[in-house]
Structure 1
Amino acid sequence: MSIPVPVLLTFLALSACQGRMAALLQTSNLLKESIRLLSEILETKVSCDKMNVTSIFAGDKKENYMEILCKATTVAWEGRSCHRHLEGVYLNLLSLVRRKSTVHKAPCPVAAGNTTSLNDFLVNLRRVLQRLVKD
């Protein structure tokens, strides 16, 4: 018994679409979970919110989102002692970068220079992730 070619092609096309849809859904879930964790962190007032971290959002605005997310993994890892949920944010960002980028190997090095408060970093990161969810 043979399968007609049009049926086989349709099956293959649907299989490919389903894999892409699952990957998009998983990416969206990681972004939404990270936004939720960041919101919880920002609602919690702790003394280390004023802790200085590298400002990855102050530099060149031409950086792509993957590069920003890659650098954000480093800053989230460094700030995890302040908020336990930052480890979850770190793991989500790490997973996103590893899946979506062949160029960046998270966590990325961040250049010393401008600093910002951990709280400001978290606000900016949540804004970037919300923009990515909308796109």
Structure 2
Amino acid sequence: MNTLVQVLLTFLVLSACLGDVITPRTHTLSSNMLKESIRLLDKLQQVEVSCKQMNVTNIFGDYKRENNTEILCKAATIAREGQSCHRNLEGIYYNLRSLVRERHKRPCPVAAGSTTSLQNFLKELHQVLQEEYKYQK
């Protein structure tokens, strides 16, 4: 019985230590994805591509800056739809999906509504990601 208690105590101590190790790494991982997405958006906004004028659903029209997970999930859906425009959108899509994967297992549907240019969408997304990055620091 004494050995069982020692094993259980050791297990509990190790479990507590693992929790402390995983949490900062997850925070660092999401922070790195945000930085990488911001960098990709910067790069994409500097490149002239004809598809920047294509229309996408304006998910930022009634966006309230409280629930970034939902808006990032919708942004991932739009980035996926625009991947053929520029390869950096593919990286942005994968980063956004990774950031929201815990809360949204599937891509978020984006209801048809008002539209905006891809260029304006990218500017708005850039601002949201910068705000999220500042919030995480």
1:47 equivalent in alignment to 2:63: no
Q: 1:63 to 1:133 in 2, by over 3 A?
A: closer
| 1:63 Cα deviation after fit | 5.8
CA distance in 2, matches of 1:61, 1:33: 24
1:96 equivalent in alignment to 2:91: no
Partner residue of 2:77 out of 71, 74, 79 = 74
Structure of higher CA gyration radius: 2
- For structure 2, which runs of at least 5 residues remain unmatched after alignment? none
- Deviating above 6 A after TM superposition, structure 1's stretches of 4 or more consecutive aligned residues are none
| Number of corresponding residues | 129
Structure 1 residues 1-56: Cα deviation after superposition (integer angstroms, max 9, x where no partner)? 969x7xx74x6544321110011001111111111111110010111111100000
**Matched residue, 1:113:** 113
CA distance in 2, matches of 1:42, 1:57: 18
If the length of structure 2 is used for normalisation, what is the TM-score? 0.84
- For structure 1, which runs of at least 5 residues remain unmatched after alignment? none
Identity %: 53
